[in-house]
Amino acid sequence: MSLDLNTLLQDWPHESGSIKVRKILGLDGREKLQLRIDLGILQMEMTGRPDGVRPHNCESLLQYHQRRAARCEARGDTYELSTDQCSELQQEGIQYYHRYLSLFQINEFQAVIRDTQRNLDLFEFVSEHTDRDELAWTFQQFRPYVLMMNTRAKASVMLGEGRFSDAIGEIERGREAIEEFFQNSNFPEMAQKSSEIAFLDEWLEEVTAKRPLSKLEIMQREMEIAIASELYERAAELRDAIKLLKMRGSAF
């Protein structure tokens, strides 16, 4: 059997500037995720570690180190990651990056939330188990981007369910988390140049503009129009109705 991949690559050509992703059924009967890159195809498992490997019989290297750290701390000892271990964890994190980026392209938002949160947990774990700031920063520098993707996935789920107000709140929280990260870092000025914050600000405006008005908001706008049109009797009726609606709302 030929090992040449040309036929496979020609049937699914790479397109510069676009992210091409598809799900396929593997020979083991499980779904796989494929990402087309310029020099080939990355194939990933849908769950667990993307390459399907179980290091030290754990789901991931992160889980392996988390378990070791927990046992170490239970004895009252300190668990310290070596430079090589951090490098291995970073390579594993890149696998999850490729997968959540691919999953986002096919609207698998719950899985994106899972994988982005996993990498956020990775950043936190490394920060807690190394006293070298430069080593921790090699992970933490990606926190704004991962927070943005986590926020996009969560808000996208809410928008898909028609929960505009919840989605707006989620975007605002994501933006605040990124802002707080920069303010607590050694580079607070980077917040003003953050492409992640700029994206969430722009998306927030777009979602807010598309959000359907609530009954209360519709009545308030109608009252404003009535006042501007000098329809004071109608404005008074709307004012009383708004007060009643607010009273009912506060009773719950």
Count of other CB atoms within 10 angstroms of residue 132? 13
Q: Tens digits of per-residue pLDDT, 171-201?
A: 999 999 999 999 998 888 989 899 999 999 9
Global pTM value: 0.83
Bridge partners of 3, per DSSP, are: none
Tell me: the pLDDT tens digits for 94-142? Answer: 999 999 999 999 999 999 999 999 999 999 999 999 989 999 999 999 9
The answer to whether 46 touches 100, Cβ cutoff 8 Å, is no
Mean pLDDT across the chain: 91
Write out pLDDT tens, residues 218-231: 788 788 888 888 88
Cα angle 87, 89, 91 (rounded to 5 degrees) comes to 70
Q: pLDDT grade, residue 252 (50/70/90)?
A: very low
pLDDT for 51 beyond 70: yes
251 pLDDT higher than 60: no
Phi-psi region of 49 (alpha: psi -120 to 50; beta: other; left: phi over 0): beta
Mean pLDDT of 197-224: 85
Q: How far is CA 235 from CA 8, 214, 221, 227, 245, in A?
A: 68, 18, 10, 6, 15
Residue 39 DSSP code: T
- The answer to whether 150 and 101 have CB atoms below 8 angstroms apart is no
Characterise 48 by phi-psi region: left (phi > 0), alpha (psi -120 to 50), beta (else): left
Q: Tell me the pLDDT band of 249, cut-offs 50, 70 and 90.
A: low
The pLDDT value given to residue 1: 60
